[in-house]
Amino acid sequence: MGKKKQKVVLPPELPPEVLDKDIEVSDEDLQFVNQNLDYAGFVSNLDTHSITKHVTRVADVKEDALESLYEKRLRKKQPNKKIEENAIEVDPVDALPVKTLDGKLYYRTVPREIKKVESESNEGDATGHDMGLAKLTKAEKRAKLKKSRKEAKKQAKEEVQQTPQADVLDEVKNDLTAEEANESKKYKLAELGMALLADPESNIKSLREMLEISKDGNRAIVVLGLKSLLAVFKDIVPGYRIRLPTEKEQEMKVSKEVKKMRLYESTLLSSYKAYVQRLIAIEQQTIYKRVSVRCICTLLSAVPHFNFRENLLAAVVRNISSQDDVVRNLCCATVKSLFINEGKHGGEATVEAVQMIAELVKTSDCQLHPDSVQVFLSLSFDEDLGKPHVADVDGKSKNKKSKKRKGFEEPNHLPDNGKKKTRQEMMTRTRDEVNADFKAASFTQDLSERRRMQSQTLSAVFQTFFRILKHTMHPTSEASSLLGASGSHPLLAPCLNGIGKFSHLIDLDFMADLMNYLRKLAGKSSKSGDLSENSSNYLTVSERLLCCIVAFKVMKNNLDALNVDLQDFFVQFYTLILEYRPGRDQGEILAEALKIMLCDDRQHDMQRAAAFIKRLATFSLCFGSAESMAALVTVKHLLQKNVKCRNLLENDAGGGSFAGAIVKYQPYASDPNLSGALASVLWELNLLTKHYNPAISTMASGISTMGCANNQVYHSIVSPQQAFKESSLEQESIVPSGGIKISNKKRKPGKDKLSSVKVRPDVNMKHQSDENEVRKKLTEHFLLLRDITENQRLRGELERTTLSLNLYEQYKKQKKQKRKTKMA
């Protein structure tokens, strides 16, 4: 089917134009108009003058009048500026624009007063009647009312929309002004700080202005102000304490320079005091916590000799056990710097800091961070201060003797007037005055003063240590509730380290109590009977090992004065070896205990040495390579010192060849002297020779060959601590921390290069060889185990088959005998 043609609809044609002359009015039309005059009344009211006014060509008009008409039109196109200022542009909806020949649109403008008059007239039109106009109908009135209501609503909306825009503009203006003010304050701080650093005496009053700026509400301005003041005070604070003049001194007449100096010092001290108070007040706010603590610590470490040191030190010690790591590290570093750099403050700040920390430990019931007591390890004491100087005593006695001799000899040679004696007295007086002035001017302290400060520091330190030990022995109910079920003692480890370091300075009267405490703490474990009532008495293996180490250090430092039996500590250490766990406990402490208790120059009993050798060999089979290496080094050291213990290396039937008091080996004995280890054999070395770590396998094979030549002397240079560190470093370099991940994705060559750079170059080649060796030894080991299990299975089957064959033969024999008896 073809497409249908669409019909084109043409618009209707216009009626033909008819001239006015040709129009003829009929009588019917006239009659209709006469009957409906009300509808045609508007024609009589038309303004013909205004209609003909816009006509360009008007009939019967002179040329001059026409030119004036054009001039008026041009004036209307250029309205008066005063009218335009008060004019309001008419809405395009209300009036159509005028388009000029240039193509521009101009909208009509009406003055405001005129518009008001028009609105009033419109209101009058709405309410009343216009003069000379016809009445409005009800529909027209309703339309006008609706239009007026719409305009009122529109104006209200515009007013509502304009108010938030004005608020936003006000806020933007306020922000701009605030930013400008902040920038000006920053520049002001920089100018004041530079002026103070350049000439502090003449610009000292600028400190108060900087303090006022630092009290601003903006955080950035406050931080910048505090840091600027810190830099200024670090530079301009003098190297002495400022003492303000008294009232009597102020009444005295002084020179201008003295007055200027007094004004400078008083202004500096008052500003410094206000700054310190500001820092301490801001420190309570979490926003400014770190900034204030950093400023306090920097100020204290820079000028510890200046005024208000006690306030700064109290703030530092108060935050020395803070939960914030940054704040705690800052405070601990500041206290350590005070302990190390005693030349800045003469040791006074050290005494105050130690006493404050001791008071803090007392008030907090020993529940602080370990770093708060760990700072005591940075202290240094002069041992010569406690001893009298023999040279001084001898010099004084010699001087006395010489004076006595001169006193007896001088009267024989002096004249009667005594001029020589008076001259000597004057010389001695002048020397004494010069020496006194020299001591006052020099920074060196008096020997008695230094001795007094050191004794105060030592008493506070050891008072803190013994308080921690006593609290660990008998914790209070509040402390146990705070600790919970874990039963940890945070200050015990740093306390024991401090006692081990300063044990040579402890008074001998306290040694017996100290050793008794250490013995009891070393025996406190989760298996002891005293834990049934209070679980907070629990000590970890590392803490108990530390107790044993500290006991041996105290014994070693006071070897001449003490006579203590350390058998209990050997018993505790013997049981702690089996309680040790690599992931839970610290291997460094175990290696230190092996070195101090077993490897130092100490002759051990044969039974004890054999017991530790056997237990350490068993220990090496169960734990990591670092601990096993430290244990094997200790075993080698013990075998070198005790030649008779090398009988443990023999593989005779029935144990070693040495006939001891105890024949049978008891592996679960708690006392090493009663274990009977000499009756055993070190069969663990045979398994350790096949260890996956080549260092341990070579060490085990070297120890096993020591029994071949009993008279051979071995020299061990490596200590257990060194062996533990070296093996742990090797393990970190060989074994990756994240584990071995196998992926099928193709790696880019750049990544492989980066991964190879992370490993040390000397370990990179060793890594591949070690892996190959480990694979070979592991395969050999597992093949051996598989063969052993297979042999055991085959032997069991062989025994069962042989037993069944034997039973079958016996059954046959019994049948034969029965047949013989029947035949007979």
How far apart, in whole angstroms, are the C-alpha atoms of residue 789 and residue 278? 79
Residue 118 — pLDDT band, cuts 50, 70, 90? very low
pLDDT of 170 > 60? The answer is yes
CB-CB neighbours of 467 under 10 Å: 17
Query: Hey, which of 47-56, 79-88, 625-634, 759-768 has the most confident mean pLDDT?
Result: 625-634
Beta bridge mates, 340: none
Q: What residues form DSSP beta bridges with 765?
A: none
Mean pLDDT of 356-373: 93
**Are 594 and 582 spatial neighbours (Cβ–Cβ below 8 Å)?**
no
Mean pLDDT of 312-318: 94
CA atoms within 13 A on the CB side of 725: 6
> How far is it, in rounded angstroms, from Cα 583 to Cα 597?
23
Q: pLDDT band at residue 59, thresholds of 50, 70 and 90?
A: low
**431 vs 125, higher pLDDT:** 431
Q: Which residue has the tokens 């018993």?
A: 571
pLDDT at 75: 67
At 668-699, the pLDDT tens digits run 788 888 888 888 889 999 999 998 888 999 99
CA 386 to chain centre: 41
- pTM of this prediction? 0.63
Percent share of the chain, pLDDT over 70: 68
Mean pLDDT over all residues of the chain?
Answer: 76
Q: What are phi and psi of 110, to 5 degrees?
A: -130, 135
Query: Residue 109: enclosing H or E segment and its boundaries?
Result: strand 109-111
List, for residues 582-606, the tens digit of each pLDDT value: 888 888 999 999 999 998 867 788 8
Q: Would the CA dihedral through 131, 134, 139, 144 be positive or negative?
A: negative
> What token pair was written down for 446?
């008096």
Q: What pLDDT was estimated at residue 274?
A: 93
pLDDT tens digits, 203-242: 898 999 999 988 888 889 999 999 999 999 999 999 888 8
Burial class from Cβ neighbours inside 10 Å (0-12, 13-18, 19+) for residue 765 reads exposed
Instruction: Give yes or no for residue 308 having a pLDDT over 80.
Output: yes
- pLDDT on residue 594: 93
pLDDT of res. 775:
74
Q: Are strands 87-89 and 109-111 parallel, antiparallel or unpaired?
A: antiparallel
Length in residues, the chain: 824
Residues 6+ apart with CB under 8 A from 639: 613, 645, 646, 649, 703, 706, 714
